[in-house]
Amino acid sequence: MTKKILIIAANGVEDIEMIATNDLLKRANIDVDIATKTDILVTSYGINIVSQLSFIVALKNLTQYDGLFIPGGSHISLLEEDEAVEVIINHFNSKNKVIGAICAGPTLLATKGILEGKEAICYPGKKERAILLKNKAIIPNPNCKPNNKCEVVVSGKIVTGLMMDSTFAFVRKFIQIIEKY
C-alpha cells in the first residue's frame, strides 16, 4: 500500500525544506499533497507554487493521509493563526500518525502542545528554542550543529529536524518512520 503525506504551508515557507522534502518523498514512492492558505503559495525566496488543495479541502480528507509534514520558514506565524491548521495537527496527533517538522516547524507543534515531554530539535535560534522549552519539549543536544547525528530527533512517531542544512538527513529518517508505521 502506498503511503500518503500531507504538507501544510503558507506564504514564506522555506523553499528547500518544502520542495526537497516533497521531491524526496515522491522519489520514495510516497504520495504527497500540499495544502496551502492561498491559491498561489509564495516561498521565502519568491518561488510561486500553485496550490494543490486548500486547508478546508484537506480537512475533509484527513483520514486518507498516513502522516503530516510541516516545513519551516516565516510562514509558521501564519499557520499558528489558522484554526484549520490546529484541527489538522490535532487530527494527526490524536490518531497517532507520523508527524514531521523541521527548522521553525517544531515550534508550531510545541505551541499546540504536541511536543510536551517529548524529545525534539528545531532551528537553533534563541526564540525557537525558547518556544520548545516553554512548551516542555526536551532538546537532547542544545548545541547541535548541521551534519551531526543530533540534527534529527525521533520521539515515537514525531520526527523533528534542525534546519535547512539538515533536510536530506531529516527526510531519510522521516521516510524510515513512515514506512515503519
Helix (H) or strand (E) holding 160: strand 158-161
Q: What is the pLDDT of residues 38-55, one digit of tens each?
A: 999 999 999 999 989 999
Domains of the chain by residue range: 4-180
Tell me phi and psi for residue 98, to 5 degrees: -70, 135
Q: Which segments within 22-157 are labelled E, that is strand?
A: 31-36, 40-42, 48-50, 53-54, 67-70, 98-102, 152-155
Say whether domain 4-180 belongs to CATH 3.40.50.2000: no
Give the end-to-end CA distance of the chain in Å, rounded to a whole number. Answer: 12
Which residues, at least 6 apart from 127, have a Cβ–Cβ distance to it below 8 Å?
none
Where residue 1 falls among pLDDT bands split at 50, 70, 90? Answer: confident
pLDDT in tens, 76-128: 999 999 999 999 999 999 999 999 999 999 999 999 999 999 999 999 999 99
